[in-house]
């Protein structure tokens, strides 16, 4: 049985300004660094066998901070991979979040993301993001899950790794909640530097028993 400790990266400047942040990237704020340190302390006694993260700097930096506090810090290897990146929002990258979600959900009768997340599946929302993107370059559900599934295939092939750190992103964690953590609500979403625990059996069965923790 593998236990995957999924951490959302610390707060960034774009998070602070409430803008869409998928593949675009900004540095951690001072509270973001402090949040990563708190997550590191909360997970310090979990003897991680490997540390994984998105290759986006905000996630990679958060992972490195957490690793500094870990019981296995001297042996721990960090692999940063595009498999674990955030949803790609295409045209909406860097846009004010509320404006972007109104553009994405408005034609379907939703004025806010909170309404949309409460009533629609996350895969439907992914498809609407691509549909609303004038360039149609945002990821839809099929494209997104093809990438994430490659990441979880990688995890399944990590022989001998029982405790795994994975630092990724808010909409990605929501996506995992939707797929593996029913009936976890999509609103409110995961806090910056929060911890979600996922288990993966030898047969590949995945469950999420705990989510959005600030302490173990």
Active site residues: 9, 86
User: Is 151 flagged in the annotation as binding?
Assistant: no
Is 131 annotated as belonging to a binding site?
no
| CA-based max dimension of the chain | 53
114 a known binding residue? no
d(Cα 144, Cα 166) in Å, to the nearest integer?
A: 18
169 is in an annotated binding site: no
Strand arrangement of the beta sheet that strand 2-8 belongs to? 78-81, 50-54, 163-168, 2-8, 195-200, 206-213
Q: Which residues contact 63 (CB under 8 A, 6 or more apart)?
A: 7, 51, 52, 53, 78, 80, 165, 167
Cis peptide bond N-terminal to 203, omega within 30 = no
Residue 88 is assigned to a ligand binding site: yes
Known binding residue 58? Answer is yes
Known binding residue 174? Answer is no
Query: How big is the chain by its Cα radius of gyration, in Å?
Result: 17
94 marked as part of a ligand binding site: no
Annotated binding residue 84 = no
Which residue, 111, 122, 6, is CA-closest to 53? Answer: 6
- Cβ contact 26:13 at 8 Å: yes
Determine if residue 89 is labeled as part of a ligand binding site: yes
Annotated binding site: 8-15, 58, 86-89
Annotated binding site for substrate: 8-15, 58, 86-89
């Amino acid at each position: 049985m593998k236990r995957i400790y999924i951490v959302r990266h610390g707060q960034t400047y774009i998070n602070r300004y409430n803008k869409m942040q998928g593949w675009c990237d900004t540095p951690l704020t001072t509270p973001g660094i402090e949040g990563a340190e708190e997550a590191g302390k909360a997970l310090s006694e979990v003897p991680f066998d490997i540390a994984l993260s998105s290759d986006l700097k905000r996630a990679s930096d958060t992972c490195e901070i957490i690793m500094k506090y870990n019981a296995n810090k001297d042996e721990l290897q960090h692999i940063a991979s595009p498999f674990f990146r955030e949803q790609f929002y295409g045209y909406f990258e860097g846009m004010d979040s509320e404006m972007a979600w109104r553009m994405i959900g408005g034609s379907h009768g939703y004025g806010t993301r909170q309404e949309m997340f409460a009533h629609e599946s996350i895969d439907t929302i992914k498809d609407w993001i691509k549909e609303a993107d004038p360039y149609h370059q945002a990821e839809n559900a099929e494209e997104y899950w093809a990438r994430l599934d490659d990441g979880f295939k990688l995890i399944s092939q990590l022989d001998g790794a029982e405790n795994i750190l994975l630092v990724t992103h808010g909409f990605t964690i929501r996506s995992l909640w939707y797929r593996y953590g029913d009936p976890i609500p999509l609103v409110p979403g995961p806090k910056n530097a929060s911890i979600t625990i996922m288990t993966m059996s030898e047969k590949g069965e995945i469950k999420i028993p705990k989510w959005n923790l600030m302490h173990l």
